[in-house]
Structures are given as structure tokens and as C-alpha cells.
A and B are shown apart, each in its own frame.
Chain A
Amino acid sequence: QSVLTQPPSVSAAPGQKVTISCSGSSSNIGNNYVSWYQQLPGTAPKLLIYDNDKRPSGIPDRFSGSRSGTSATLGISGLQTGDEADYYCGTWESSLSAAVFGGGTELTVL
């Protein structure tokens, strides 16, 4: 059971927008920065969003992040078949002095 809760799967049609939620508590998301990662099949994870809403260079603005209270959200607009992947949120859990990830969300672009 992950400290951070994500939906196991989401799906949407090409060109549409999808959001992936990440629910936590005051000891993790509520007081620490959240990052999001994309993992394509058979590859290492890739940083998409850090510090709740910042994009590393090279990440298209189709990807966005936000945080409100103890939850965070990843948004992906203009969906492409190449976006099919697993997505993970992560942050620091202050009560454990440990980093934590959500269980991951599988995105299907129908």
C-alpha cells in the first residue's frame, strides 16, 4: 500500500486531455514538493514535472502539474499514442524521512 494514492489506470482518446491524481497527506504532499515521472515500457523513468508545477527543459507544455492542499495533479493535453506509459508521482515523506512514490497510473490512449 503506497503512501501516495494514484488511480491504477486512466484512458482517453488521441487529442483529448487527461488528468492523473495523486493523493497524500500533510506530512508529504501537503508540505513538500511533488514530482511526476513517465515510464515507457522497458525504459527508465523520466522526469516530467518537479516542484509541483515546473517542467524540465525539453518537456513539452502539453504536460502540466499542480498541487492543492494534500493532493497533486498531472495534466496531459493533446494526447498522443506515444504518451501511453506508466506515470508516477513522488515526494518526501517527512514523518518517515524517506522518499515515496505513488503506486503508478497506466495511461491508455484509445
Chain B
Amino acid sequence: EVQLVESGGGLVQPGGSLRLSCAASGFTFSSYWMSWVRQAPGKGLEWVANIKQDGSEKYYVESVKGRFTISRDNAKNSLYLQMNSLRDEDTAVYYCARDKGRADIGIRFDYWGQGTLVTVSS
């Protein structure tokens, strides 16, 4: 059974940092593009970043470029999101998602984690 389990969310002050993790199981993690998607309270979905199978390609939404870094450890079946210089507007539930295809011709997020809440507030 495919499982994605996020962790690392919490309350952080503006300007602070947080590292999210996503533990994957039930599939060959190293064979898939992976993404982070967030959802602010009461708002829609916003894609944040993705990473190729071997980590050689990474893409980000404009609003997090230079502040967030996506990475993966295929030996540990884990996906990460390092978030620095956090802002109020980064407050959201963060989901990790598996992409069943090639990310640069379309998205196909076939499995999602349960999400982890990040709250940026003083």
C-alpha cells in the first residue's frame, strides 16, 4: 500500500525556518517525481515545488524561490522541504504528492499525504 506521511509542521515566527519531511512507503520512491503542494486556510491548492527522480531537476513557484529548497534521499525513501525566511502568507497545510508521470508535460498527483500544518505567526 502506497503511503506518504508528512511531518515537521508547527508554529514558527516570521523570518524563521522549518524543515518538512515526507516518508514514503509501498512503492519504489526513486522512480517518481515528487512535489510539495500547499493550501492556505480556506483557500485553494498551490503547487510549491517538485524534484526529479534523481534530484537533478528542481522547480519552484515564484513566491518561494530563494527561500525554500526541495530535496530527497532515495536511500531513506524521504522527501524534504527546507523553508527559510518564512512569511505570514506561507501559513498553510503542506502536502507531499507523488507524480505518476513526467512533470514537465503535465501533473498527475496520484497519491497524497495527509498534510502537515505550518503556521507562521508572531
Contacts and interface: CB of A to CB of B under 8 A. Distances in A.
A binds B: yes
A110 interface: no
Interface string A24-57: 0000000011110101000011110011000010
Nearest to B112: A44
Give the size range of A's interface with the partner: 20 to 34
Contacts of A39: 45
Give the size range of B's interface with the partner: 20 to 34
Contact of B45 (A32, A92, A98, A104): A104
Interface in B61-117: 61-62, 95, 100-101, 103-110, 112-115
A92 B44 contact: no
Contacts of B103: 92, 99
Given A88-B44, A99-B50, A101-B46, A56 B59 contact: no
Interface of A: 2, 32-35, 37, 39, 44-47, 50-51, 56, 86, 88, 90-92, 94, 96-104
